[in-house]
Structure 1
Amino acid sequence: MREMFRAHIEKIVSLTDDEFDIVMEHFVHKKLKRHQYAVQQGEFVDHEYFVVKGLLKSFFANADGKEHIIQFALEDWWISDYQAFVNQARATFNIDCLEESDLLSLSFGNKKKLCDKVHKMEHFFRVKTMSGYIALQQRVLSLMNDNAQTRHAHLLEHYPALFQRVPKALIASYLGVSRETLSRFGNS
């Protein structure tokens, strides 16, 4: 776990062994079971999570109970309800484990302390935030401009592992199509 997480960070910034030890002191290892929530709609959000092992989904449940999937998070990805995390507010989204998951949890306070102690981590988090923002913009533009089959092909091309690990009904929800429409695309 330590080696994987260090490699993840060092794609962006180099750390000495002492700096990495300081980084690890600010994280808490959490094991969550399948269908266990990391974040629940309406609850206060004080943590973001790095996925060491497992698979999670972020979704919004509307007043009718219909789920709208916002994000999947596989190994080596970060997830939280970032609006609530940054604003120290209540969650708009739910984050549910689709598989048993090992997570590294970072509290809002510990993130601030970590960035004060190891300034390189501020740069790391800024790069990760910008990458996430760009991905979100691309997803929004795709939803506005691409047809469902193009969105499906893009997802399959960039994240083929999702199709092996995520139920088709959830893939359909993420793409904004019915299960029946998804089955017509093939390779799903």
Structure 2
Amino acid sequence: MEDILRNQIEKIVKLTDEEFQFVLSHFSTKTFRKHQYVLQAGNPAPNDHFVVKGLLKSFYLDETGKTHILQFAMEDWWISDPQAYHNALTATLNIDCLEDTQVYIISLDNREKLCAESRKMEYFFRKKTQAGYIALQKRIQSLMTLSAKERYDQFIQLYPQLSQRLPKSLIASYLGISRETLSRMSDH
């Protein structure tokens, strides 16, 4: 389990064994079962989650009860409700497990302490945050400018392994299209 976290960090910064043990001391681990909520809207969102094993989705329900999926997260990905996490607010998003899941958890307090004491980790989290902003911008632009077929093709190209693990109904929700539309597109 530790290797996955260390590899994630060392894609951006190299750590000595001692430095990694220091980093690790700021995290805890948790296991969730399939269909278990990691976070529910209306609750505090004190943790960011690094996925070691499993698959999760973050979503919100609109006033009509329709589900809107914002993000999926599989192994080697991070997931939280960023607004609630960084601003100590209650969550507006739900995060639930699509598979049995193991995560590393870091509280905002521990992240702040870690960044204050390690320039490498401050740099790491800054680079991860920038990458998240860029991914979000690309997602919004694709929703605004691409056709449903183009969004589906882009999803398959960007996340081939994810598309194999998800039911079409969840992919359709993520893409903002109906399950029927997705079925027509994927059958061709």
Give the TM-score normalised by the residue count of structure 1: 0.98
| SS of residue in 1 equivalent to 2:42 | coil
- Shift in Å at residue 25 of structure 1? 0.4
State how far apart, in whole Å, the 2-side matches of 1:72 and 1:115 are. Answer: 26
Where does 1:1-188 land on structure 2 (aligned, <5 Å)?
Answer: 1-186=1-186
Amino acid at match of 2:178: S
- Larger CA deviation: 108-117 vs 147-156: 108-117
Percent identical residues: 54
The Cα of 1:44 is off from its aligned counterpart by 0.8
Q: Which amino acid aligns with 1:147?
A: S
Counterparts of 1:150 and 1:111, CA distance in 2: 38
Q: Once the 2 structures are TM-superposed, how far is the Cα of residue 100 of structure 1 from its aligned partner?
A: 0.3
State the SS of the aligned residue for 1:65.
coil
CA distance in 1, matches of 2:187, 2:81: 31
What secondary structure does 1:177 align onto?
A: coil
* 2:98 partner amino acid: L
CA distance in structure 1 between the aligned counterparts of 2:71 and 2:187, rounded to whole angstroms? 21
CA RMSD, 1 decimal: 1.1
Q: Which runs of 5+ in 1 are unaligned?
A: none
**Number of residue pairs the alignment of both structures matches:** 188
Instruction: Name the stretch that deviates more: 166-175 or 113-122.
Output: 113-122
Report the alpha carbon displacement of residue 117 of structure 1 after superposing the two structures with TM. 2.0
User: In 2, distance between residues paired with 1:97 and 1:161?
Assistant: 17
Runs ≥4 residues deviating over 2 A: none
* 1:161 Cα deviation from its structure 2 partner: 1.4
